[in-house]
Amino acid sequence: MNNTENTKTPIEGAAATNFIREAVAEDLKSGRFKSVHTRFPPEPNAYLHIGHAKAIWIDYGIALEFGGLFNLRFDDTNPAREEQEFVDAIIQDVKWLGADFGDRLLFASDYFEQMYQWAEELIKKGQAYVCDLAAEEVSKTRGTLTEPGKNSPNRERSVDENLDLFRRMRAGEFPDGSKTLRAKMDMTHANLNLRDPVMYRILHTPHHRQGDKWCLYPMYDWAHGLEDSIEGITHSLCSLEYEDHRPLYDWFLDQLGIYHPRQIEFARLNLTYTVMSKRKFIDLVKAKKVTGYDDPRLSTLAGMRRRGFSPLAIKNFCERIGVAKRDSLVDYALLEHYVREDLNKRAPRYMGILNPVKVVLTNYPEGQSEELEAVNNPEDPSAGTRKVPFSRELYLEREDFMEEPHKKFYRLSPGREVRLRWAYFITCQEAIKDASGNITELRCTYDPATKGGDAPDGRKVKATLHWVSARHAIKAEARLYDKLFTKENPDDAPEGQDFTANLNPDSLKVIPDCKCEPALAKVKPGEAIQLERLAYFCVDPDSKNGKLVLNRTVPLKESWGKTVKE
């Protein structure tokens, strides 16, 4: 294992101190640990979500801040649920977030032999025994919060008998679920986790890395601390549900007398209008409620990446919400705020029309076209400019015209003059309708003296509209994503129904025939853009063979940023 020190600088704009930082700093000051070594230990049974991003940034952020090391270690101890697909996806996600684990890509399954030897050591010390009770029977004898548990009838087996049975369990002599190895702790303890917890179970299932080598697999509470000890982890940072399991972590390490890391727990991330459950992601995918684990409506990192969220936006969001000891619910709008903040600085601007209506400039020469200069990003002067074609026939957004405008409508209407972005002033003269009364074409005039968007006589207009030259337009499909659920807490469902009852039927609207300026043809899948006046978008991987597919990342307007001061 490479123990080269991490020489990267501390996180830029790191959040204010928190109880984990303070604990780590105190451990270094007191000499409890001489350096910092953290890990992120996902089970490869699903895709990572934004809650994992918070955990990664806590784990990696602490290592980075204190000049330490960071491991990516897969807790691959349950072959019935684990797949190589998930391993590959998790590695991609962790790298995408920017967490550098160097050559420390590790797997718990590589430690199975050492774990087994340590289990035999506990048996020899009389601190573990083979139990014949089925899982249901173990649960019944465990007791409750107010009643003590009952000892297993096998609790007093001899060391020799336990060793013999345990070795035969490893050899594959017994069927699944017929025997377990349990720690001999205290069946009356107030913490139910310490009532003779199961350390090993029999599972005749091939492992995605170990094949058929093992049919005996360690439980997480047994394996967790051993993995940390083997890797020299100093601070095992876990979510809050493992606080009641910490005595197990400590007990196993102390009984074995091996190197002992420190476990510290923090609150998980909970977001409004979304779910943060691997099981629920799997349910949604299997029921075809979403298109896959990378569906842009999901809070999986793969879905957020496809939607156009950036690692920097997610990192800034995680730093903003901070590290706490108590669970809380974070407004999804706060995440969107940091996505907009990031995209506003770096996303190039283009013009596109989602709901087009044709405009004919009757006094513009037929067959003529010209190129106008447009700024790529007003927030970034280094982004430069581009040329946008202009011609006699244009497309405008249908919503930007109103035949009988109300008092606060300042866009195009009969007799009214508006500015076309980077182009000219135009005035609507006539609206052409079909037999059903639907507007099919707007006939306008343009003022050639206003090229670039300013009038030499100083007259002003109240609206600036985006547009696309009809002759030069390219076609695009726009996928307008919204929140996947209609309620802040999707589990708040009517009696007899589950969280899927709150799925938002309007979470995806597909517009198949949008009109975009031709420069968009060069934008590659995964790149972020802004369609002026509309929203931020990301080019989808489905963009192939001349087909352009745009995923709406977030609308331009936000609600959270108006009420929260940074």
Beta-carbon-side half-sphere exposure of residue 259 (alpha carbons within 13 Å): 14
Q: pLDDT class for 263, splitting at 50, 70, 90?
A: very high
Catalytic residue among 81, 142, 170, 268: 268
Tokens of 85: 């697909």
Which residues lie below 8 Å from residue 260, measured CB to CB, with a gap of 6+? 225, 229, 250, 253, 254
Asked whether 339 and 382 are in contact (CB, 8 A), the reply is no
Is the pLDDT at 561 greater than 50? The verdict is: no
Mean pLDDT of 269-286: 94
Instruction: Give the E-state strand segments of 37-111 in sequence order.
Output: 37-40, 69-74, 105-107
**Active-site position among 157, 195, 278, 306:** 278
Delimit the domains of the chain by residue range.
19-270, 278-307+476-516+523-557, 355-472
pLDDT tens digits, 506-536: 999 999 999 999 999 999 999 999 999 999 9
Q: Which residues contact 407 (CB under 8 A, 6 or more apart)?
A: none
Under 8 Å between Cβ of 540 and 551: yes
Mark 472-496 as b/e (b = at least 16 C-beta within 10 Å). bbbebbbbbbebbbebeebeeeeee
CB 71 within 8 A of CB 230: no
In eight-state DSSP terms, residue 320 is H
What ranges in 308-394 are assigned the alpha helix state H? 311-321, 332-346
pLDDT of residue 13: 37
The matching CATH number, chosen from 2.40.240.10, 3.40.50.11740, 2.40.10.340, 3.30.70.20, for 355-472 is 2.40.240.10
Please spell the DSSP secondary structure of 101-159, one letter per residue: -TT-EEEGGGGHHHHHHHHHHHHHTTSEEEE---HHHHHHHT--SSS-----TTTT--H
Same fold? 19-270, 355-472? no
Pick the CATH number of 19-270 from 3.40.605.10, 3.40.50.620, 1.10.3720.10, 1.10.10.10: 3.40.50.620
Which residue shows structure tokens 């590695």? 91
What value does the mean pLDDT take over residues 296-314? 97
Query: Is 547 noted as a catalytic residue in this protein?
Result: no
Written as six digits, the tokens of 489 are 């807490």
**34-55 average pLDDT score:** 96
Q: What is the spatial distance between Cα 247 and Cα 378, in angstroms, rounded to a whole number?
A: 56
Pairwise CA distance, residues 104 & 441, whole Å: 63
Our answer to whether residue 184 is catalytic in this structure is no
For position 93, what pLDDT does the model report?
Answer: 97
pLDDT at 11: 35
Mean pLDDT of 499-506: 96
Whether pLDDT at 566 is above 60: no
pLDDT tens digits, one per residue of 446-494: 999 999 989 999 999 999 999 999 999 999 999 999 999 999 999 999 9
pLDDT on residue 557: 86
Site of tokens 């899982």 = 135
Q: What separation in angstroms does the CA of 446 have from each of 130, 228, 387, 430, 452?
A: 88, 71, 20, 13, 12
The 10s digit of each residue's pLDDT in 281-304 is 999 999 999 999 999 999 999 999
DSSP 3-state of 175: coil
Look at the pTM and tell me if it is higher than 0.95: no
Question: For residue 81, is pLDDT > 60?
Answer: yes
Q: Which CATH number fits domain 278-307+476-516+523-557: 2.60.40.10, 2.40.240.10, 2.102.10.10, 3.40.50.2000?
A: 2.40.240.10
Has 268 been annotated as catalytic? yes
Q: Over 90: is that where the pLDDT of 406 sits?
A: yes
* pLDDT number for residue 9: 29
**What's the CA gap between 387 and 376, in Å, rounded?**
10
